Structure 1
Amino acid sequence: MRNIVVFGAGRPGYGQATALRLQQDGYSIQGTFDNDYADEGNEFAAQNPSMNLIELDHSDLGAVEEYLASIKGPLAGLVVAEFYFAMEDPNNFDLAQWNRSLAVNLTLPKLAFHGLIEKFDTASSTVFVTSTEGFIGSFGAHAYASTKAATHNLVKSLANIAGAKQVRVNAVAAGWIGGVMDTDEVFNMSRRITPLARLGEAKEIAGVVSFLLGGDSSFVNGSTVTADGGYSGVDTISKYEFDHEFEQD
């Protein structure tokens, strides 16, 4: 059985969905869930005893290094589906919040990759789950958006050095995904903007991760695949003008 490490495997949403999909694909899962989601993660681990899941503070990089050292190879791949998001007051810079964002969203993927690359099989694959917020500027989540943009570049940079070992590195930029806070008015607005007129499902992100890990994507490397229902292709002012002109709902 092929072994894979999934950071955030026990996190509700696309973390859990990815772990379940990869298990279905035939992978043996070693993974984590953050202590912010200890209850949900422990429940998921109890429901899936064949997965080797542990609770981990992903912002504690020393603890992450210890976990990486404990992983046995060979590995078929690595997935980082863990993230940290917090709204910010742009007039009051919170350095601790910024540093936690950097640690979890950017340093964790870099650290995990380098900590495991010598344990990868030939033709293994790495996938980082990011966000479409990495493509544009943010109002109240500067750290989140900036770290996701940096991760898109990191994917290209890691692919440059890993390609000689036939190790691929890619990302999935997720749009608005339902299942946690999808009754919020912000999510309702995203439905109105997205061309598919709905939120994404966690399993749809998991499906793209599965594709990027598998043989059908064997020549996809250093890429960020967008899975957002077309959201990032919409000019909201143009949509407003169109809807007003043709009285669209």
Structure 2
Amino acid sequence: MNHIYLALDFPTWEESKQFLDDHQLKEVPVKVGMELFYREGAYVIEQLKNRNHPIFLDLKLHDIPTTVMRAMRNLATLEVDIVNVHALGGSEMIKRAKEGLASINKQHETKLIAVTILTSMDEQTMNNDLQLQGSIEQHVTHLAKVAKNGGADGVVCSVHEVEMIKQHCGTSFLTVTPGIRLPSSKENDQKRVATPSLARRIGTDSIVIGRSITKANNPLEAYQQAQEEWKNGTSK
């Protein structure tokens, strides 16, 4: 399991490739999201794999179980490291997603993780817009249990929910945490954020970091700082 995934939040492969090349980010683990994948499709995954980048394919599938299962059959052929679904799809959808991955790909294991509550969402938004009453922590814990019962390997969650999830789902249940910022960075549209050092101290398995690196004056230096924080658990 790779510990740091760089979010390639670019609209095209050409821009992604130029960024990686210009800043000497060779073979770093990357996260490919909807914007890039919907533009380039499997081509971008093939290009990244040819350049030895481990890949987290972040598409957050959420549909009826059969549709998700069939989609996962196709995604399994890409042989990425991680794919994800929305835990709100329910345990049956997650179970079928896992079946779809396993039905095609026998040599390469792709980890399946489930999104709990997006890190862009705070409690007030969850209560008012989604009409989910109670605390974020309660719903994240519940959704993590749903994901585990459906056979997921882990969840996407905020750093602040990692300890709670590990307590309820076990230490081997993976936690992948976006909303990571270097101390000098702005939060942007993320609400439940943390630094790489805090994420490491709390015990998450992997972090996803984007704009703190892609918008930095020196992206390679920023990436190295994130690595250093993760390794030593301290901020500069």
Q: If the length of structure 2 is used for normalisation, what is the TM-score? A: 0.36
Q: If the length of structure 1 is used for normalisation, what is the TM-score? A: 0.35
Greater Rg over alpha carbons, structure: 1
